Amino acid sequence: MTTLTKNQKLIQWVNDWVKVMQPDNVVWCDGSEEENNRLNEMMVASGMAIKLDEKKRPNSFYYQSDPSDVARVENRTFICTEKEEDAGPTNYWESPAKMKEILLAKYTGCMKGRTMYVIPFSMGPLGSNIAQIGVEISDSPYVVTSMRIMTRMGKAVLDVLGDGDFVPCVHSVGAPLAPGQKDVKWPCAPIEEKYISHFPATKEIWSYGSGYGGNALLGKKCFALRIASYMAKTEGWLAEHMLILGLTNPAGVTKYIAAAFPSACGKTNLAMLIPSIPGWTVKTVGDDIAWMKFGKDGQLYAINPEAGFFGVAPFTSEQTNPNALHSCDKDTIFTNVGLTPDKNVWWEGIGYDCPDGTITWKNEVYKAGSDMQVAHPNARFAAKASNCPTIDPKWEDPAGVPISAILFGGRRPSTVPLVYEARSWNHGTFIGSVVGSEVTAAAIGLAAGVRRDPFAMLPFCGYNMADYFGHWISIGEKAPDKAKLPKIFNVNWFRKDENGRWLWPGYGDNSRVLAWIFNRCEGSVEAVESPIGLLPKAQDIDISGLSVTPADMTELLKVDKNLWKAEVDLIKEHYARFGNRIPAALNAELATLEKNLA
């Protein structure tokens, strides 16, 4: 066994797990092209992967997962703290001792007949003072090739690590092979035996039974958000579920913006936006996660800790997001999309009809004109960020990019205006803490109302969410230069009129709102006081060439006091979940809002 490192702690950790899991072989991954090609050829030969047409999709591969293993499983995702209240009411909890007892029993002999891969990876540019290093052990070659896209992975990471500390990430698909037993195409354990467990105090991740997405690629949500959010709290930085974009005005000035939206609110579309107003450009730093630390100059700097995009394929098209579509022109792993007869991929909403004879994600044959579902709604592509047509030239700058503005937003057909600005950092934290989307009962079988997803972190906060709000407050208090804190805004692209008509066109036209935010950061445009925060003057948002009327703009920027009084009641209900752990500063912001509406 070639170890590629002299880090005794790491070698000992791997050896300890080898004794427990009993793999047939151990491979230390070097991240090389040769290693990647070897693993891909092996997976094609075994039937796990299908190589796509080299002319249409160079160096790209197609996978179908087991139907029980298609997405994150929130009710099998645990935060393991000594006290249940430290995990908080929004997480599934188990004590560390109990969870480790359960999982050690499952891990014993779990890699028999398989190879253990040791995967060193850096979250963030190698050597950045904002980056962190992890090591994942896994028995899945799919995880190795995916981690090579999604992180900086291999020998160079071990060189940077030296004798240093790493976040230990343990993963197994939970499907040992008896001598002579034939492997299945997608090995995994049944749903009730899947565990994705986090131990914040010891910075450990133990995952068992799933081979898919964030359950298995442990750098993604497990490390970059759940463990990192706890590290950020104890060390005084921010680990956030946010995109990062660079916005350049016609004068050539660039400002960087981070934004947090719950799922299905257009996060990736905004990260890769093509502005509809002349002279403005958007570049992509990241589409999902931002890690932010204060620089020596007192400014908040952000990196994208990932090296790839793990995007939802369905409804990605030339119309909705051409830059995401072209990010996966080559070097891409596709999972649970359709496989066309000419060895290309297809999914619902791609923009053209599905070819007859396409293989669906369930391995059935599609007949032209039928209503058979071809791609799973959570079908994914893992694509290199460096292949994105709009990637920002500074996306790998170890220092990060300076953040001028932070945006929050959800799907709100009424109540919340198109855009408003927070009066202060605490007010902005309050806005982030009450983010939500309105759902109709018909949509997902739930009672109609506002589903709160604070900071878009609900499934990803590694500790009690009320304490997380408190951490945001303390970041504002401890900022080396409060004048340099990013301005905070709330946006809502989803406002409708009383007939259910969208009032705002969205997509590329969201650049018109970004332009106002940019100008607010420059101090070149005024805002108007309202009970909820600072609003634009209607004439300061450029609607030239749009079918948006002045009456529409009035409606888009309206603050209806009665609707907001009802909102206050809903916020009180939301805060009540956290009891007396809600920071006093947020209760004060709520009281101010209530007073302003009186």
* Active-site residue list: 265
Interatomic CA distance for residues 45 and 35, integer angstroms: 15
List all residues 6 or more positions away from 336 whose beta carbon is below 8 Å from its beta carbon: 63, 64, 65, 70, 361, 375, 376, 378, 379, 380
Interatomic CA distance for residues 328 and 588, integer angstroms: 47
Residue 420's DSSP bridge partners are 490
Helix axes 8-21, 96-107, angle to 10 degrees: 60
Q: What are phi and psi of 319, to 5 degrees?
A: -80, -45
For residue 42, the surrounding DSSP H or E stretch is helix 33-46
Interatomic CA distance for residues 456 and 322, integer angstroms: 25
Closest CA to 224 of 418, 402, 460: 460
Residue type, 582: I
Residue 291's DSSP bridge partners are 239, 303
Residue 78's DSSP bridge partners are 92, 197
Strand, coil or helix: 343:
coil
Long-range contacts: 34-37, Cβ < 8 Å, 24+? 35/154, 36/145, 36/148
List all residues 6 or more positions away from 386 whose beta carbon is below 8 Å from its beta carbon: 307
Strand, coil or helix: 104:
helix
Q: How many residues does the chain have?
A: 598
Helix axes 33-46, 141-150, angle to 10 degrees: 140
Residue type, 187: P
Residue 254's DSSP bridge partners are 248
Strand, coil or helix: 132:
strand
CA distances from 207 to 173, 217, 276, 534, 580 (A): 8, 10, 44, 45, 33
